[in-house]
């Protein structure tokens, strides 16, 4: 027996944020970051709470790639506030922090029979899909730990394209490649199903059709809406099908060298596609056929499986080039000496990452090390 779960109600499109105007609650806890305060987005949310007579407390101390100290601080404030509504407003880092704060409070306290607050996630990047996933990624020292629990699934996800117009081009590129990586990894995952396939295929098409417009014309609301939807749809695919070793390698690279998550995926993705497809061998695996099918559905040359896999890799590289993304880990400013000094530590982290078991091709230490070496050099 298999299961496919889609939890949150999704409010999407222009003015989706107005959903907040119909809320009833006593006390809200708003988790966000300083950028959301600076852009006035936090006020947009708290104004609506005030209009509804809902008391609120704002916790805006979440940085990118949140660590355990941010979660502990959030727990203290939330515990004192006793909310019946939690709103996460921000990128994946903020949404993950809110999830981890709620999860930790409810699982460590004795009175865990206290009613769980309503949980609303409002993503302001089009990348992680965290608004619909049961995942939360939290850093402990230099390792990114992936918590997975359905408890963390939001009740409502609000996808308002107005909130992503301000995302600068470099972050648009990073987060957009994260969406592509979620869809590709879910599509070839050992746990893929007809349901996750449908979502992954749609998300891949939306990324190839709209990401460049979001990058080149940040205020193109139609393109922003499509990428916001793509991010959420890819999230639905991977929260069910899980991911693969691009993410395992990216988590370790991000944890050790602070490479932004989507950029880390972009640097590793094509090397992993070639590895999973066994492109330089028989190129006849189920994953290879799936990559080729995706290439064909994108209108790329795919008269053989090998040609399809190659076309997909070329198309991904063209997308990255058009957005001026780095071609190698070296290009991101990580020195050769630093990289090789931490290489085996990252390999160890990637091997035990919770995304590794669902990668379509089983992988060993040596193969992970080779993938890192290829991505460092960009060959
Ligand atoms: P992020 O949340 O770290 O945000 C990146 C930067 O963009 C921050 O400086 C933020 O302030 C800024 N920003 C956010 N929204 C903005 C806006 N509208 N305008 C201008 N600037 C804005 O980046 P992210 O890629 O969304 O999230 C990355 C984190 O999510 C990583 O820790 C990653 O491991 C994790 N992640 C989680 C899941 C999941 O399912 N929970 C999936 C993938 C990744």
Q: pLDDT digit string (tens) for 26-51?
A: 999 999 999 999 999 999 999 999 99
Q: Read off the pLDDT band of 227 (50, 70, 90).
A: very high
Distance of CA 370 to the CA centre of its chain: 25
Over 90: is that where the pLDDT of 109 sits?
A: no
Residues across the chain = 379
Mean pLDDT, residues 142-148 taken together? 92
Q: What phi, psi does 120 have (nearest 5°)? A: -115, 125
Which mutation among 17, 32, 91, 143 tests ligand 1's pocket best, with the greatest number of atoms within 8 A of CB? 91
Mean pLDDT, residues 239-255 taken together? 97
For tokens 């080779």, name the residue: 370
Please state whether 13 falls in left (phi above 0), alpha (psi between -120 and 50) or beta. left
Atom of ligand 1 nearest to the CA of 164: 18
Atom of ligand 1 nearest to the CA of 35: 11
* Predicted pLDDT of residue 115: 83
Ligand 1 — pocket residues by CB below 6 A? 33, 35, 39, 64-65, 90-94, 96, 124-125, 127-130, 133, 135-137, 144, 163-164, 166-167, 171, 175, 178, 261-262
Which mutation among 42, 92, 98 tests ligand 1's pocket best, with the greatest number of atoms within 8 A of CB? 92
Q: In 45-194, where do the E strands start and end? A: 55-59, 85-90, 118-123, 135-140, 143-148, 156-159
Give the HSE-up count for residue 234: Cα atoms under 13 Å, Cβ half-sphere: 29
d(CA 356, CA 147): 14
Q: Tell me the pLDDT of the chain averaged across its residues.
A: 96
Radius of gyration (Cα) for the chain, nearest Å?
Answer: 20
Over 60: is that where the pLDDT of 94 sits?
A: yes
Q: What phi, psi does 217 have (nearest 5°)? A: -130, 85
Nearest CA to ligand 1 atom 15: 124
d(CA 13, CA 279): 40
Atom of ligand 1 nearest to the CA of 66: 32
Nearest CA to ligand 1 atom 32: 65
Domain positions in the chain are 9-164, 169-377
* Residues 121/131, Cβ–Cβ less than 8 Å: yes
In angstroms, what is the span from residue 333 Cα to ligand 1's centroid?
A: 21
Q: Which helix (H) or strand (E) holds 9?
A: strand 9-12
Q: ipTM score here? A: 0.99
Q: Is 51 exposed, middle or buried (0-12, 13-18, 19+ CB in 10 A)?
A: exposed
Distance of CA 258 to the CA centre of its chain: 16
Q: Read off the pLDDT band of 110 (50, 70, 90).
A: low
Mean pLDDT, residues 335-358 taken together? 97
Over 70: is that where the pLDDT of 356 sits?
A: yes
Task: Name the CATH topology of 9-164.
Answer: Rossmann fold (3.40.50)
* Residues 14/224, Cβ–Cβ less than 8 Å: no
Atom of ligand 1 nearest to the CA of 178: 43
Q: Read off the pLDDT band of 81 (50, 70, 90).
A: confident
d(CA 327, CA 312): 16
Q: What phi, psi does 57 have (nearest 5°)? A: -130, 130
Which mutation among 8, 35, 231 tests ligand 1's pocket best, with the greatest number of atoms within 8 A of CB? 35
* Residues 71/136, Cβ–Cβ less than 8 Å: no
Q: pLDDT digit string (tens) for 363-379?
A: 999 999 999 999 999 98
Nearest CA to ligand 1 atom 9: 64
Nearest CA to ligand 1 atom 31: 65
d(CA 48, CA 56): 11
Q: pLDDT digit string (tens) for 147-167?
A: 999 999 999 999 999 999 999
CATH superfamily, region 169-377: Dehydroquinate synthase-like - alpha domain (1.20.1090.10)
Greater confidence (142 vs 193) lies with: 193
d(CA 279, CA 298): 19
Q: What phi, psi does 124 have (nearest 5°)? A: -120, 5
* Residues 344/369, Cβ–Cβ less than 8 Å: yes
The predicted model scores a pTM of: 0.97
What token pair was written down for 373?
Answer: 């070496």
Atom of ligand 1 nearest to the CA of 95: 41
Q: pLDDT digit string (tens) for 199-221?
A: 999 999 999 999 999 999 999 99
In angstroms, what is the span from residue 137 Cα to ligand 1's centroid?
A: 11
Which mutation among 93, 148, 177 tests ligand 1's pocket best, with the greatest number of atoms within 8 A of CB? 93
Strand partners, 157: 10, 121
- Residue 181: name the closest of 278, 92, 284 by CA: 92
In angstroms, what is the span from residue 128 Cα to ligand 1's centroid?
A: 7
């Amino acid at each position: 027996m298999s299961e496919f779960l889609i939890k949150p109600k999704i409010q999407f499109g222009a003015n989706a944020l107005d959903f907040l105007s119909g809320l009833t609650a006593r006390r809200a806890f708003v988790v966000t970051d300083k950028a959301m305060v600076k852009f006035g987005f936090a006020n947009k949310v708290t104004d609506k709470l005030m209009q509804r007579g809902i008391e609120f407390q704002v916790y805006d101390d979440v940085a990118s790639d949140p660590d355990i100290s941010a979660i502990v601080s959030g727990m203290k404030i939330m515990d004192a506030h006793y909310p019946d509504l939690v709103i996460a407003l921000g990128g994946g880092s903020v949404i993950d922090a809110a999830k981890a704060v709620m999860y930790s409070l409810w699982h460590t306290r004795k009175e865990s029979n206290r009613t769980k607050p309503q949980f609303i996630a409002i993503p302001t990047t089009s990348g992680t899909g965290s608004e619909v996933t049961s995942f939360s990624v939290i850093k402990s020292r230099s390792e990114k730990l992936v918590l997975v629990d359905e408890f963390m699934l939001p009740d409502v996800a609000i996808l308002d394209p107005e909130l992503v117009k301000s995302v600068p081009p470099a972050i648009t590129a990073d987060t957009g490649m994260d969406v592509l990586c979620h869809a590709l990894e879910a599509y070839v995952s050992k746990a893929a199903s007809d349901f996750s396939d449908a979502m992954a295929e749609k998300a891949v098409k939306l990324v190839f059709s709209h990401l460049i417009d979001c990058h080149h014309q940040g205020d193109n609301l139609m393109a922003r809406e499509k990428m916001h939807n793509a991010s959420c749809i890819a999230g639905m695919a991977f929260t069910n099908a899980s991911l693969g070793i691009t993410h395992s390698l990216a988590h370790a690279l991000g944890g050790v060298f602070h490479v932004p998550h989507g950029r880390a995926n972009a640097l590793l993705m094509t090397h992993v596609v070639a590895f999973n497809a066994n492109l330089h061998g028989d190129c006849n695996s189920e994953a290879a056929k799936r990559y080729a099918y995706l290439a064909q559905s994108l209108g790329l040359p795919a008269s053989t499986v090998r040609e399809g896999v190659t076309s997909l890799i070329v198309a991904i590289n063209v997308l990255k080039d058009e957005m001026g993304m780095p071609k190698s880990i070296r290009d991101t400013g990580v020195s050769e000496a630093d990289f090789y000094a931490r290489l085996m530590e990252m390999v160890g982290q990637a091997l035990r990452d919770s995304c590794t078991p669902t990668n379509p091709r089983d992988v060993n230490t040596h193969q992970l090390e080779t993938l890192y070496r290829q991505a460092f050099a960009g060959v």
